[in-house]
Amino acid sequence: MEMYLYAHPERGPEPRSGFAGKSSEEASGEETHPEFGCNDKGTQREPMKQDRHSAIRELVAAAPIGSQGELRRKLVKRGFEVTQATLSRDIHELHLYKGPNGYAVPNGAALDDGEDLPGTEEVLNSFGLKVKQAQNQLVLITTSGSAQPVALAIDSEDWPEVVGTIAGDDTVLIICPDNKRANLLRDRLEAMIG
Helices (H) and strands (E) in the chain — how many of each? Answer: 6, 6
CB distance 7 to 108 below 8 Å: no
- Cβ-proximal residues to 68 (8 Å cutoff; 6+ apart), any chain: 84, 87, 88, 91
> Using CA atoms, how far apart are residues 169 and 12, in angstroms rounded to an integer?
38
- Dihedral class, residue 31 (left if φ above 0, else alpha if ψ from -120 to 50, else beta): alpha
SS3 content of the chain, % helix, strand, coil (to 5): 40, 15, 50
The partner in contact with residue 113, picked from DNA, a copy of itself, none with C-beta cut-offs of 5 to 8 angstroms by kind, is a copy of itself
Nearer to a copy of itself (CB atom), residue 61 or residue 191: 61
H or E element, residue 126: helix 120-127
Other beta carbons within 10 Å of 9: 14
Q: Taking CB under 7 A as the rule, does residue 86 contact DNA?
A: yes
Compute the least distance from the CB of residue 110 to a copy of itself, in Å. Answer: 6
Q: Taking CB under 7 A as the rule, does residue 62 contact DNA?
A: no
Binding segment for a copy of itself (CB under 8 A), chosen from 30-38, 45-53, 130-138, 186-194, is: 130-138
CB distance 169 to 151 below 8 Å: no
The partner in contact with residue 68, picked from DNA, a copy of itself, none with C-beta cut-offs of 5 to 8 angstroms by kind, is DNA
> Which residues, numbered 53-82, are part of the site for a copy of itself (CB under 8 A)?
63-64, 66-67
Q: Provide the greatest CA pair distance for the chain.
A: 75
Compute the least distance from the CB of residue 8 to a copy of itself, in Å. Answer: 7
How many residues in the chain?
194
Binding segment for a copy of itself (CB under 8 A), chosen from 37-45, 78-86, 103-111, 117-125, is: 103-111
Which of 32, 54, 101, 179 is the binder for DNA (CB under 7 A)? 32
Residues in contact with DNA by CB under 7 A are 13-25, 32-42, 45-46, 48-49, 52, 66-69, 81-86, 88-92, 98
Residues in contact with a copy of itself by CB under 8 A are 1-4, 6, 8-11, 14-15, 17-18, 20, 24, 63-64, 66-67, 92, 95-102, 104, 106-110, 112-113, 132-137, 139, 141, 143-145, 148, 151, 163-169, 171, 173, 175-178
